[in-house]
Amino acid sequence: MSKNIVIVESPAKSKTIEKFLGKDFQVLASYGHVRDLPSKTGSVDPENGFAMNYKVADGSEKNLKAIASAVGKAENVYLATDPDREGEAISWHVLEELKRRLKKKMDAVSVHRIVFTEITKSAVKHAVDNPRTLNDSLIDAQQARRALDYLVGFTLSPILWRKVRRGLSAGRVQSVALRLICERESEIEAFKPEEYWSIDGLFNTPTSEELVAKLHTYNGKKVEKFSFTNEADAKAVVETLEKETYSITDIEKKKARRNPSPPFITSTLQQEASRKLGFSARKTMTTAQRLYEAGHITYMRTDSVHLAQEAVQAMREEIGSRWGKQYVPEKPNFYKNKQQNAQEAHEAIRTTRFDARGEDLKLEADQTKLYNLIRNRAMACQMTPAEFDQTALTVEAASKQHSFRATGRILTFPGFLKVYQESGMEIDDSLLPSVEVNDAMSVKEIQPEQHFTEPPPRYSEASLVKALEEYGIGRPSTYAAIISTLLDRQYVRLDKRRFYPEDVGRIVTKFLTEHFEKYVDYNFTAHMEDDLDAISRGEKKWVPVLDEFWSPFKQLTEEKTESVKKSDITAEATGETCPACGKGEIMIRLGRYGRFKGCNNYPECKHTEPLEGDKPTEPKAPPEDTGVSCPQCKADGATIVKRTSRRGKIFFSCGTYPKCDYAVWDKPIVEPCPECSWPILTVKETKRFGTVKKCPQKECGWQDKETVKRKAPEDKAAPKKAATKKPAAKRAPRKKAS
DNA sequence: CAGTGAGCGAGCTTCCGCTTGACTT
C-alpha cells in the first residue's frame, strides 16, 4: 500500500522507476492508451461538436482496475506518461476513468502531471519534485488528431466498399503510403532509358604504373553525363583523343573529413537493420522490444536523436579506454532532429551500457546482431571524424583542348569508422600512382562505355519508412503496422523485398488521387500538424479546426458518392469490339483475381479473355486421379481427382465437375464407413495422431477409433478443456478474412 | 471449393497511435 502512485505507459519502465523512487512509491503501467473510439460508425459526432464516444479497450480493463484500486488507497497520483501529445491524452483518459470509478474518493487524492525524457534517477526525482497540471491544449490537439483520423478513415473506406470492393480501407497515413508505391510504379512504367557514353583514359606513368582517369573536358568544354549519347559520337571522340599526347598538369591535394551519423531513431534503425541484417521492420521492432525489456537498450519507438548526459559520458570513457584518446572528440558531438513534427518524448535508441558487446550478454543470435548494431552506431556518434588525404590529378592533352581527371582517397585516420560504417556510404581507399606535374602520360587505351539511365528503384520497407518519415507521415510506433496494412489489404505485395502495387492498390490510389486529392496529398499531414501545433499552443480551438476540415470534406464525399460510378473506377474502355457477340466493347475490369478483359454486353454476353501482358496462364496439368469412384454421382468412370483451390489449398473433388459438385478436403480411400456405410473414408496425416481416418459425411461424423482412444485420456487429464477452447473461438473472427 | 464482372440488398468490412501478451494448429 503506497501513498504515492506513479502511472507510466510501459511496464518495463515502471520497474526501473520504482527502483529510483523507493518504498513510498508504487509505479503502475497503463500499457499505452486505455480508451479509444470503437471501430464502428458514430464514434465521433460532427453534428454535436465532434463529441467523442470513447470506450475502454478490452485489454485495458484489467490495467485500469489495478490502477484504480491502488489510487483509491493513495494520497498522490503522479501521471508520468510520455511527454508528448499522445502521452498527455493517455494521462487525461486515465484520470477520467479514475474519476468515473472512484468518484468522491478521488477528492482525497492529489493529482500531478510529471514528465521526464530520460529514465535516470536524477531526472525522475526532479520530475516528481516539479509537478504540473494536465495541459488541456495538448489534450485537445490529440483529440483533434484522433477525430480527424477516424473521420477520414471511416468516411472514405465505405466509399471504397461501394465503388471498388468490400473490406478495403483508406486513411490519412496508409493511403499516402500506398500512393507512394503506386506512383513509383507509374514512374517506372513511364521510364524511357536514355543512352549515354562515358569515356575513360587508361594511361601509363613514366614508371609504368597504370592510371585510369575520366574524361573531364573535351574541346574546351566540361564533359557531362549526356555529352555523348550514341556510339558514333563516342567513337569519334575516342579517335580524336587517341591522337593526342598527354601530361600531368595539376595535382591537387587536400584533407577531407567525414563526420559520424546521429544515433538511431526508430526509422533509421529499421532502415539500417534492413540493409545490414536483412530484418523486416516488424522483426527489428520485436527484437528491439526484447532487448528493451531485458534492459539492454533504451526505448525503441522514438523520433529523437537526443542522448542522456550520463550515456554520453559512459561512451566517451569506453571509447577512450578501448581505442585511445584520439578517438574521443574534445567536446561531445551534438545532434539535432531534422524532422519538423518530431515529438521528442524519448531518447535516441542506444544501449544502456557500452562496456559489453552483444556476445558478452549471452543473447539470442538476432538480438546479438541488433544489439551490436545499436551499440556501434551510438558509440560512433560520439567519436572523432574520419580523415582522408584526397588527391585529384589532371591529365591534359598537349592541345589543351581535352583533359582527364582521376581522384584518389586514402584513409589517414579512421575515427568513428573504426566502429561503424553506415550502409550506402562505404569508403574504399582508392590509390593513385605517384606522379609529378609535367610527367608525360602515354595513352594505353581510350575506353568508351555505353550506359543507359535506370528507372527509380521500387520501394523497400526501409526506403518506404524513410520516405514516410521525411513527409512526417506515421509515427515510430506505426511504421511497421502501416506496411502490414498495405499487405493485408492486398494493395501491394513484396517480391524480393521490393513493393509492387497490385491492381486493387492502383485502382484505389487512382480513385483517391483523382477525387480526394487534398486528403491524400503528401503534405496533408504536415498541414494537419500545423493546426495541431496551433491548438497545442492555445492559438486555435480544436472544434473550429475540425469544422474547417469536416464541412468541405463531407460535402465532397457526398458529391463523389453520387457522381462517380463504380464502372468509372473499375472498368476501362479498350475500343476493341467483342469477338464473340460482335456488338459489345471490350472493357478491362477488376475481378477477384486481378484485371481481365470482358464484354461490355454482360450479362448477355459472357465473353472474357486474359489481359495482355499478364503472365500467360500456365497450361494446366491434368489433375491427379485418386482412382476412387465418386460416391455421390456414381456415374460411370467418375473418379475423385486432386485439385488446388484458388487460394492454393488442396482438395479432392469429382472429376466430372461441374456436373457433380462432390468435394472433400482430405484424401479419399475406398473403405466403407463402419458406422453409416458411406462407400469412402478420408485420411489425413497429423503430427499428434499419425494417420486419422474420418467419414466425410458430416451427419455421421465417425472417426478412427484409435484416435478417439488416444484422445480420450487427454480430455480427462485436462479438465480445463473448455477454458482452452474459448480463445480459439475468440480467435476465429479475428483477421484472416477468408 | 473449381475464371473473374452488373444489381438486387441480408449483414459486414474501415481509421491512427499508444502499449504488451498468451491463445494454438
Q: What are A316-326's pLDDT values in tens digits?
A: 999 999 999 99
Instruction: Tell me what pLDDT residue A699 has.
Output: 72
Q: Contact, A93 vs A33, CB < 8 A?
A: yes
Q: Contact, A268 vs A423, CB < 8 A?
A: no
- Work out the pLDDT band at A613, boundaries 50, 70, 90: low
User: Taking 80 as the threshold, does the pLDDT of residue A344 lie above it?
Assistant: no
Domain boundary among A134, A152, A170: A134
> Which cell is A290 given?
526484447
User: Tell me, in Å, how far CA of A62 is from C1' of B22?
Assistant: 15
User: Taking 90 as the threshold, does the pLDDT of residue A116 lie above it?
Assistant: no
- Work out the pLDDT band at A731, boundaries 50, 70, 90: very low
Q: Contact, A184 vs A458, CB < 8 A?
A: yes
CATH of the domain at A519: 1.10.460.10
Q: Mean per-residue pLDDT for A207-225? A: 95
> Which cell is A177 given?
503510403
SS (H, E, C) A241-264: HHCCCEEEEEEEEEEEEECCCCCE
Which CA distances in Å does A239 have to A215, A233, A234, A235, A561?
14, 10, 9, 6, 67
State the first-to-last Cα distance of chain A, in angstroms, to the nearest integer. 50
Instruction: Tell me what pLDDT residue A100 has.
Output: 96
Same domain (yes/no): A253, A391: yes
Length of chain A: 738
The per-residue pLDDT for range A246-277, each reduced to its tens digit, is 999 999 999 999 999 999 999 999 999 999 99
Residue closest to sugar C1' of B21 by CA: A59
The per-residue pLDDT for range A541-575, each reduced to its tens digit, is 999 999 999 999 999 999 999 888 887 787 877 77
Q: Contact, A570 vs A589, CB < 8 A?
A: yes
Looking at the domain assignment, is residue A74 inside a domain?
yes
Looking at the domain assignment, is residue A730 inside a domain?
no
Same domain (yes/no): A486, A600: no
User: Tell me, in Å, how far CA of A586 is from C1' of B5?
Assistant: 12
Domain boundary among A384, A417, A442: A384
- Please identify residues in chain A, positions 417-436, with a C-beta within 7 angstroms of any atom of strand B: none
Q: For strand B, is any atom closer than 7 Å to the CB of A293?
A: yes
User: Taking 80 as the threshold, does the pLDDT of residue A688 lie above it?
Assistant: no
Looking at the domain assignment, is residue A123 inside a domain?
yes
Q: Contact, A217 vs A504, CB < 8 A?
A: no
User: Taking 70 as the threshold, does the pLDDT of residue A215 lie above it?
Assistant: yes
Instruction: Tell me what pLDDT residue A184 has.
Output: 98
A127 Cβ contact partners less than 8 Å away, ≥ 6 residues apart? A80, A114, A115, A116
Same domain (yes/no): A366, A433: no
Q: Contact, A411 vs A428, CB < 8 A?
A: no
Q: Mean per-residue pLDDT for A20-49? A: 95
Instruction: Tell me what pLDDT residue A724 has.
Output: 35
A551 versus A704: which is more confidently predicted? A551
- Please identify residues in chain A, positions 170-229, with a C-beta within 7 angstroms of any atom of strand B: 170-175
Which burial class, exposed, middle or buried, applies to A537 when counting CB atoms under 10 A from its CB (0-12, 13-18, 19+)?
exposed
Residue A300 Cα to chain centre, angstroms: 15
- Work out the pLDDT band at A1, boundaries 50, 70, 90: low
Instruction: Tell me what pLDDT residue A619 has.
Output: 41
Instruction: Tell me what pLDDT residue A689 has.
Output: 61
Same domain (yes/no): A283, A348: yes
Same domain (yes/no): A364, A441: no
* Upper half-sphere CA count for residue A480 (Cβ side, 13 Å): 19
User: Tell me, in Å, how far CA of A31 is from C1' of B20?
Assistant: 7
Nearest alpha-carbon partner for A682 in A672, A690, A714:
A672
User: Taking 50 as the threshold, does the pLDDT of residue A147 lie above it?
Assistant: yes
Nucleotide nearest to A647 (CA to C1'): B1
Nearest alpha-carbon partner for A233 in A223, A248, A247, A220:
A223
Nucleotide nearest to A584 (CA to C1'): B5
Q: Strand B: which nucleotides have any atom within 7 A of a protein Cβ?
A: 1-7, 11-24
Instruction: Tell me what pLDDT residue A652 has.
Output: 79
Q: Contact, A218 vs A402, CB < 8 A?
A: yes
User: Taking 80 as the threshold, does the pLDDT of residue A602 lie above it?
Assistant: no
A222: left (phi over 0), alpha (psi -120 to 50) or beta: beta
Same domain (yes/no): A14, A125: yes
Nearest alpha-carbon partner for A143 in A704, A546, A586, A656:
A546
**Beta strands A76-79 and A110-113, pairing class:** parallel
- Work out the pLDDT band at A342, boundaries 50, 70, 90: confident
Looking at the domain assignment, is residue A407 inside a domain?
yes
Same domain (yes/no): A48, A80: yes
Name the DSSP letter for residue A275: I
**Long-range pairs for A127-132 at CB < 8 Å and ≥24 separation?**
A127/A80, A128/A6, A128/A21, A128/A78, A131/A78
Cell 480527424 -> residue: A148
Nearest alpha-carbon partner for A480 in A458, A495, A457, A461:
A461
Q: For strand B, is any atom closer than 7 Å to the CB of A474?
A: yes
Looking at the domain assignment, is residue A737 inside a domain?
no
Q: For strand B, is any atom closer than 7 Å to the CB of A472?
A: no
Q: Is A299 a catalytic residue?
A: yes
Q: For strand B, is any atom closer than 7 Å to the CB of A302?
A: no
Q: Mean per-residue pLDDT for A140-159? A: 97
Q: For strand B, is any atom closer than 7 Å to the CB of A329?
A: no
Name the DSSP letter for residue A273: I
Q: For strand B, is any atom closer than 7 Å to the CB of A615?
A: no
Instruction: Tell me what pLDDT residue A631 has.
Output: 83
Residue closest to sugar C1' of B3 by CA: A593
Looking at the domain assignment, is residue A714 inside a domain?
no
Determine if the peptide bond prior to A603 is cis (ω within 30°).
Answer: yes
Same domain (yes/no): A277, A344: yes
User: Tell me, in Å, how far CA of A535 is from C1' of B17?
Assistant: 19
User: Taking 70 as the threshold, does the pLDDT of residue A508 lie above it?
Assistant: yes
A354-A269-A259-A321 Cα dihedral, nearest 10 degrees? 10
Task: Indicate which residue of A299, A471, A519, A662 is catalytic.
Answer: A299
Same domain (yes/no): A395, A255: yes
Quick one: angle between helices A11-21 and A121-129, nearest 10?
Answer: 80
Instruction: Tell me what pLDDT residue A707 has.
Output: 55
* Upper half-sphere CA count for residue A61 (Cβ side, 13 Å): 4
SS3 call for A177:
helix
CATH of the domain at A351: 1.10.290.10
* Upper half-sphere CA count for residue A57 (Cβ side, 13 Å): 15
Q: Contact, A250 vs A394, CB < 8 A?
A: yes
Summary count for chain A: helices (H), strands (E)? 19, 28
User: Tell me, in Å, how far CA of A607 is from C1' of B4?
Assistant: 11
Q: How many domains does chain A have?
A: 6
- Work out the pLDDT band at A649, boundaries 50, 70, 90: low
Nearest alpha-carbon partner for A394 in A227, A155, A203, A636:
A203
Same domain (yes/no): A641, A686: yes
Determine if the peptide bond prior to A658 is cis (ω within 30°).
Answer: yes
The per-residue pLDDT for range A486-505, each reduced to its tens digit, is 999 999 999 999 999 999 99
Alpha helices in A74-197 (DSSP H): 85-102, 121-129, 136-163, 174-190
Residues of chain A with pLDDT > 70, as a percent, come to 91
Q: Which domain holds residue A476?
A: 144-191+460-564
User: Taking 50 as the threshold, does the pLDDT of residue A172 lie above it?
Assistant: yes
Instruction: Tell me what pLDDT residue A639 has.
Output: 81
Domain boundary among A332, A367, A384: A384
Cell 486419422 -> residue: A692
Backbone φ and ψ of A585, nearest 5°: -100, 145
Q: For strand B, is any atom closer than 7 Å to the CB of A284?
A: no
Same domain (yes/no): A82, A227: no
What single-letter amino acid sits at A461?
E
Nucleotide nearest to A82 (CA to C1'): B18
Cell 478443456 -> residue: A721
Q: Contact, A304 vs A345, CB < 8 A?
A: yes
Name the DSSP letter for residue A301: S
Dihedral sign (CA A396, A397, A402, A404) = negative
Dihedral sign (CA A150, A151, A155, A156) = negative
Looking at the domain assignment, is residue A119 inside a domain?
yes
- Work out the pLDDT band at A683, boundaries 50, 70, 90: confident
Q: For strand B, is any atom closer than 7 Å to the CB of A505?
A: no
Residue closest to sugar C1' of B2 by CA: A645
A538: left (phi over 0), alpha (psi -120 to 50) or beta: left
Q: For strand B, is any atom closer than 7 Å to the CB of A570?
A: yes
- Please identify residues in chain A, positions 440-459, with a C-beta within 7 angstroms of any atom of strand B: none
- Work out the pLDDT band at A474, boundaries 50, 70, 90: very high
Instruction: Tell me what pLDDT residue A650 has.
Output: 66
Residues of chain A with pLDDT > 90, as a percent, come to 68
Same domain (yes/no): A9, A130: yes
Q: For strand B, is any atom closer than 7 Å to the CB of A593?
A: yes
d(CA A56, CA A97) in angstroms, rounded, equals 9
> Which cell is A75 given?
494520497
Looking at the domain assignment, is residue A615 inside a domain?
no
Instruction: Tell me what pLDDT residue A277 has.
Output: 96
d(CA A142, CA A190) in angstroms, rounded, equals 41
- Please identify residues in chain A, positions 30-59, with a C-beta within 7 angstroms of any atom of strand B: 31-33, 36-37, 39-41, 59
